[in-house]
Amino acid sequence: MLWFLVFFLVPFFVLGRISLAEPRIALPPYTPLFERGPDGSLQIIASLENYWFLWEDALYRNAYLSSIRIAVISTVFALLIGYPIAYYIARSPEPRQSILLLMVILPFWTSFLLRVYAWMGFLRREGVINNMLMSMGVIDTPLVMLQTDFAVLIGIVYTYLPFMILPLYANLTKLDSAHLEAAADLGASPMVTFFTVTLPLSMPGIIAGSMLVFIPAIGEYVIPALLGGPDTLMIGRVLWDEFFSSRDWPVASAVAIVMLVLVVAPIMWLQSVQNRRELD
């Protein structure tokens, strides 16, 4: 509860207070929430104009929709790639299992920024991928991959793939092999056993991994800034522009509050559904 109070509720209320103010050229760059009137009475100066401004301006709506779309697609691809990897690690013998886990965690030993910059070298017109494809005769002209949504998806999936693999691995290692043996004894094929036994039992790991990928991906700033183009619209870049370029802290705070609600509300609903299933 102390962790929740310090690192969630306090920043949430600070942003909420700023989002109800108006911008001004001063320090801090927003109007106070309380002000004394001519008669000495304390007045509350707050409005919802910043939230109404977000609703009226199509830029912010498009940024939210684009961020959700890219985050969902990245999460799906991370799941499709991460599940077989986690399954293979969980079914490997112990010495190999430790080595494979180390290989999954190994990228974290390198700077996040350097890893994203490395993808720029792979995806540019004269990069490794284009040179390899042209030398093999697959393409005649370089492909445009950098500064596109495709490059952003690759960067997000590559960066957050370990966050998908590790929860899945932790869940799959706890899977009781007796269930698989019982399904085989009842005549189920390996494919039927996977979809009727393994996949349903690994659902908590799928949900945990998906949340760990989706939540940071929806507010990602560095990857779209380096790998995306001017048409790549994500809410993280909008937040940066509002805070540091436009210096409009109230609007930026309103953007952050709305994004937080969009992320937290589905998580709370999903948690309630999962709790009801456990009770049933």
Per-residue pLDDT in tens (0 to 9) along the chain, 280 residues:
888 888 888 888 888 888 888 888 877 888 887 777 676 677 777 788 888 888 888 888 888 899 999 999 999 999 999 999 999 999 898 888 999 999 999 888 888 889 999 999 899 888 889 899 898 888 888 888 888 899 999 999 999 999 999 999 999 998 888 888 888 888 888 888 888 888 988 988 998 899 999 988 998 888 998 998 878 888 888 888 888 887 888 988 998 898 888 888 777 777 777 777 666 6
Helix (H) or strand (E) holding 263: helix 249-279
Give φ, ψ of 23 to 5 degrees: -70, 150
Peptide bond into 28 cis (omega under 30): yes
Hey, how many other C-beta atoms are within 10 angstroms of the C-beta on 227? Answer: 25
Q: For residue 37, what pLDDT is reported?
A: 66
How far is 255 from 76, CA to CA, in rounded Å?
Answer: 25
Output 244-252 pairs: Cβ under 8 A, ≥24 positions apart.
Answer: 247/23, 247/29, 248/23, 248/29, 249/18, 249/21, 249/23, 249/28, 249/29, 249/30, 250/18, 250/19, 250/20, 250/21, 250/22, 250/23, 250/30, 250/50, 251/19, 251/23, 251/50, 251/53, 251/54
pLDDT of residue 159: 93
- Give the SS3 label for residue 93: coil
Structure tokens at 90: 């969980």
By C-alpha distance, which of 273, 223, 265 is closest to 119? 223
CA 212 to chain centre: 7
- Cα–Cα distance measured from residue 3 to residue 249, given in angstroms and rounded to the nearest whole number: 26
What's the pTM?
0.85
What pLDDT is attached to residue 80? 96
Q: What is the pLDDT of residue 280?
A: 63
- Which residues, other chains included, contact 127 with Cβ-Cβ below 8 Å and sequence gap of 6+? 120, 121, 145, 146
Q: What distance in Å separates the CA atoms of residue 71 and residue 159, rounded to the nearest whole number? A: 13
Considering only CA atoms, give the Rg of the chain: 24
Q: Torsion over CA of 99, 104, 105 and 109, rounded to 10 degrees?
A: 100
pLDDT at 278: 67
